């Protein structure tokens, strides 16, 4: 997958692109990244990328021309049909559904806003999609862009998430993960759940599914409202409700 990143701070991406799963995806050529710095598309002596907001108020607004120059350069390099995505608190919520629907894309252009915002005329003219990674304001779209990059890249062929999802069909369902354990077997008298030591794959799978459903019910019940439950899930949910402790 080709990624064009429009940012004033390309160095912020070094940790992501050098280390871990994403670093390996870059090193192996599964992911190719080009950076486009709006400052390189300024024409004035001071290389100005922002200006004061019309109507007044605190903070600065990113100017159209430098962003437009950077996006045009990215589009000239991008595979045909590559969407331009702005990371912004005003965007639609980024979730695993957006990850899935963009896994087949050959390219993405991610635009990182800085300062208090981006001139709306740039957004209207150049941006296809606007994504938010959560309801908080950051100092820029760089960390959100890295969230999107990591979430997508780990599902590309030859990366870890891709192998996991091939092994485990429940990988993309709406439930939270079950609890994980590794050695030692006893730690300050806290034991490993016996089903995990039984060597019985059926028992292990049932225990994990029960715990995943229980956690989801307790912590994020809204995630279950869009799910259709199979026979095992129904049986486990009935057990969970039967075991419920009164408050």
Query: What is the smallest separation between the CB atom of 140 and ligand 4FL, expressed in angstroms?
Result: 5
Judged by phi (left if over 0) then psi (alpha if -120 to 50, else beta), residue 246 lies in: beta
Query: What is the smallest separation between the CB atom of 204 and ligand 4FL, expressed in angstroms?
Result: 38
Residues that bind ligand 4FL (CB under 6 A): 87-89, 113, 132-134, 137-138, 140-141, 144
Residue 54, H or E segment = none
How far apart CA 82 and CA 105 sit, in angstroms, is 7
Judged by phi (left if over 0) then psi (alpha if -120 to 50, else beta), residue 117 lies in: left
Query: What is the smallest separation between the CB atom of 26 and ligand 4FL, expressed in angstroms?
Result: 23
Using omega within 30 degrees of 0 as the cis cutoff, is the peptide bond preceding 69 cis? Answer: no
In terms of CB distance, is 66 or 216 closer to ligand 4FL? 66
In terms of CB distance, is 1 or 146 closer to ligand 4FL? 146
- Beta-carbon contacts of 178 under 8 Å, excluding residues fewer than 6 positions away, are 207, 208, 209, 211, 212, 215
In terms of CB distance, is 133 or 236 closer to ligand 4FL? 133
Q: 112 with 138: CB under 8 angstroms?
A: no
Per the listing, tokens 């979730």 go with: 95
In terms of CB distance, is 71 or 236 closer to ligand 4FL? 71
Query: What is the smallest separation between the CB atom of 80 and ligand 4FL, expressed in angstroms?
Result: 27
Query: What is the smallest separation between the CB atom of 66 and ligand 4FL, expressed in angstroms?
Result: 16
In terms of CB distance, is 80 or 137 closer to ligand 4FL? 137
Query: What is the smallest separation between the CB atom of 241 and ligand 4FL, expressed in angstroms?
Result: 37
Judged by phi (left if over 0) then psi (alpha if -120 to 50, else beta), residue 106 lies in: alpha
| Length of the chain counted residue by residue | 247
């Amino acid at each position: 997958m080709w990624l064009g990143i429009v940012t004033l701070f390309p160095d912020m991406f070094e940790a992501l692109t050098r280390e871990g799963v994403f670093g390996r995806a870059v090193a192996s050529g599964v992911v190719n990244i080009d950076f486009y710095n709006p400052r390189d598309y300024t024409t004035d002596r001071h290389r100005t990328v922002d200006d004061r907001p019309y109507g007044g108020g605190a903070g600065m607004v990113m100017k159209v021309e430098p962003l437009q120059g950077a996006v045009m350069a990215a589009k000239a390099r991008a595979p045909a049909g590559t969407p331009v995505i702005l990371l912004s608190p005003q965007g639609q919520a980024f979730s695993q559904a957006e990850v899935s629907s963009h896994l087949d894309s050959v390219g993405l252009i991610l635009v990182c806003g800085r300062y208090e915002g981006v001139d709306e005329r740039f957004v209207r003219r150049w941006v296809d999609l606007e994504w938010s990674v959560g309801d908080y304001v950051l100092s820029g779209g760089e960390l959100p862009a890295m969230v999107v990059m990591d979430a997508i890249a780990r599902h590309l062929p030859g990366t870890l998430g891709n192998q996991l999802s091939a092994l485990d069909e429940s990988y993309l369902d709406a439930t939270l993960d079950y609890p994980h354990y590794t050695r030692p077997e006893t730690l300050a008298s806290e034991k490993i759940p016996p089903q995990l030591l039984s060597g019985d794959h059926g028992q292990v799978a049932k225990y994990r599914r029960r715990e995943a459903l229980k956690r989801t019910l307790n912590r994020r019940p809204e995630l279950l409202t869009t799910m259709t439950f199979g026979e095992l899930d129904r049986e486990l949910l009935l057990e969970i409700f039967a075991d419920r402790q009164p408050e």
